[in-house]
Every structure is written in C-alpha cells, then in structure tokens.
C-alpha cells in the first residue's frame, strides 16, 4: 500500500583516496573538505539527521573518513581501502541494510539538506514499487542554485540534464540489480552514457537525434534489463553539484554564503 510508511536506510559512500583540489593545499579527502565552517560530511550527516526519514545511516568510507570524528555520527561506519572500486563499495553498502529501500548518496554533495531529503522521501513513497529510482536534474535547476557552475550535461527531450548523486534501490530487487552495478556506477552521472553502456539500441538511435525522453528511457531500460526503473525530474540542483574540482568548492562557499 502506497500510504503505508516504508523503511529506508541511507548510505553515504565516501571511499577513494585523498585529493589535491587547490594549489599549495595538502591532500584531503573530499568528504572532509571544510566549506563555510563545516566539512562536507558534516553537512550531509546533519541533513540526514534533521530530515528524520531513515532507519539507519550507514557510512562507507576510506580510513581518513572513518577515523574522523564525524564517522561516529552514523549508525554504522565501515572502513574500505582507498583503492576499492565504487561498485564494490556500493555492494558492501547494500549488504548492511535490512530496510525495504536504500538511498545511496555520494559523499561529496554538501548542498543536500533536510528539506530536499524530505521531498525525496515523498517521491520514494510514491514510487515505492519501482526497482530503482534515479533523480534527474536539469541545467536550469543547477544554475538556479549555483549560478555559473560548470557541469557536464546530456541532452534529452526534457532539456540538458544529468543524473543526481543519489539513487534509491528496492531491497527485494537487489539480486537482479547486482549484475548492473558496475556499469551503473561507471556511467551514473550521464543519462545518455547509461543508455550506451547498456547497449540499448533504440535509446542510442533516439539520442543521436536528441529527442529521447525520460519515459522512453525507462521503457527501453526495462525491456533491455528487466529492471523497472523510474527517472524523476527534480528541481534540486544540490543533488547534481559534487566536489570534483577547486571551482566546486568556490561554488559551495558562495551557495552557503547566500543561504546563511
């Protein structure tokens, strides 16, 4: 029943090595970068706690992250080698959950907040029977929150867009989702790259003419993989802006300065 409460675990994936994003700065893990007085991970954990929508908050992180004081703010935290693949960390995270649904977020999206998470929870409730939910964000939505931010977008019928850094899996669908995890994690940020990676011929043909829509993607994806996925167009630019380069830190500093 869609009006029944579902159980949700939230996973933050914060593996990978230390990075040097700014000249003359020491290496630091992206989740531990300080922005406007707090680290990226602090913003994310505080948002999850304030939203109050999950049964468990699970942190999967490299040693620098799990040794930080913020790790104990999660219900579970698990250390992984810096060299571990994203797909392996992804699988590890799903094995820790017993909830009906699992939201998995990258560990470098500090713009996420409790209001956005609460709205996403409503969408999860609405589409709870889907195997996979992916949140799609248009360029216009990103630039509304982050003016001048430089991101990479794919062209779909709904406009220039990218897949946000959070997705939701249905626990009962994990077995059939597992064979797709490697491709999905590799191409997760691009709607069109996902289509190409799964070899969906009709989608590739439509992509050439730039007239593919999200519903067409869903239909072709299900036909090709058997996965009942839902792409949800959202206005939350915060889902699409992660910390990849020094200009992203500036974008975030400006964002929190405007919203202080």
Q: Would you state the pLDDT for residue 210?
A: 58
**pLDDT (tens digit, 9 = 90+) per residue, 34-74?**
999 999 999 999 999 999 999 999 999 999 999 999 999 99
The CB-based long-range contact list for 190-194 (8 Å cut-off, 24+ gap) reads 190/152, 190/154, 190/162, 190/163, 191/136, 191/154, 191/156, 191/161, 191/162, 191/163, 191/217, 191/231, 192/154, 192/155, 192/156, 193/154, 194/163
pLDDT surpassing 70 at residue 103: yes
Rounded Cα gap, residues 133 and 233, in angstroms = 11
Rounded Cα gap, residues 161 and 183, in angstroms = 19
**Mean pLDDT, to the nearest integer, of 200-223?**
67
Structure tokens at 200: 């969906």
**Mean pLDDT, to the nearest integer, of 147-174?**
89
Secondary structure letter of residue 198 according to DSSP? T
- Least reliable range by pLDDT among 70-79, 134-143, 203-212: 203-212
Q: How many other C-beta atoms are found inside a 10 Å radius of the C-beta of residue 174?
A: 16
pLDDT surpassing 50 at residue 1: no
* CATH assignment, 8-258: 3.90.550.10
pLDDT surpassing 50 at residue 203: no
Give the burial class of 240: count Cβ atoms within 10 A of its Cβ; 0-12 exposed, 13-18 middle, 19 or more buried. Answer: buried
pLDDT surpassing 50 at residue 206: no
Q: Would you state the pLDDT for residue 82?
A: 84
Percent share of the chain, pLDDT over 90: 57
Give the burial class of 90: count Cβ atoms within 10 A of its Cβ; 0-12 exposed, 13-18 middle, 19 or more buried. Answer: buried
pLDDT surpassing 80 at residue 12: yes
Q: Would you state the pLDDT for residue 140?
A: 96
Q: Would you state the pLDDT for residue 184?
A: 59
Higher-pLDDT residue of 139 and 87 is: 139
Q: 97-124 burial by CB neighbour count: b if 16+ within 10 A, else e?
A: bebbbbbbbbbbbbbbbeebbeebbeeb
- Least reliable range by pLDDT among 87-91, 99-103, 122-126, 201-205: 201-205
């Amino acid at each position: 029943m869609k009006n029944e409460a579902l159980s949700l675990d939230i996973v933050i994936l914060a593996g990978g090595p230390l990075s040097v994003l700014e000249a003359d700065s020491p290496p630091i893990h992206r989740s531990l970068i300080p922005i406007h007085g707090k680290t990226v991970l602090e913003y994310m954990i505080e948002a999850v706690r304030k939203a109050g929508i999950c049964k468990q908050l699970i942190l999967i992180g490299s040693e620098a992250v799990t040794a930080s004081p913020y790790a104990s703010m999660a219900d579970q935290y698990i250390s992984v080698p810096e060299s571990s693949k994203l797909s392996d960390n992804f699988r590890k995270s799903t094995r820790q959950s017993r909830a009906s649904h699992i939201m998995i977020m990258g560990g470098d999206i500090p713009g996420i907040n409790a209001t956005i998470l609460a709205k996403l929870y409503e969408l999860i409730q609405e589409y709870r029977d889907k195997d996979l939910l992916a949140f799609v964000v248009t360029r216009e939505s990103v630039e509304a929150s982050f003016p001048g931010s430089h991101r990479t977008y794919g062209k779909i019928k709904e406009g220039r867009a990218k897949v946000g850094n959070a997705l939701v899996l249905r626990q009962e669908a994990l077995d059939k989702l597992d064979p797709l995890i490697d491709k999905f994690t590799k191409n997760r940020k691009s709607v069109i790259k996902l289509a190409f990676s799964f070899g969906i011929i009709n989608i590739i043909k439509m992509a050439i003419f730039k007239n593919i829509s999200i519903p067409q993607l869903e239909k072709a994806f299900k036909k090709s993989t058997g996965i009942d996925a839902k792409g949800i167009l959202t206005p939350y630019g915060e889902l699409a802006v992660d910390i990849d380069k020094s200009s992203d830190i500036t974008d975030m500093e400006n964002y929190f300065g405007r919203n202080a």
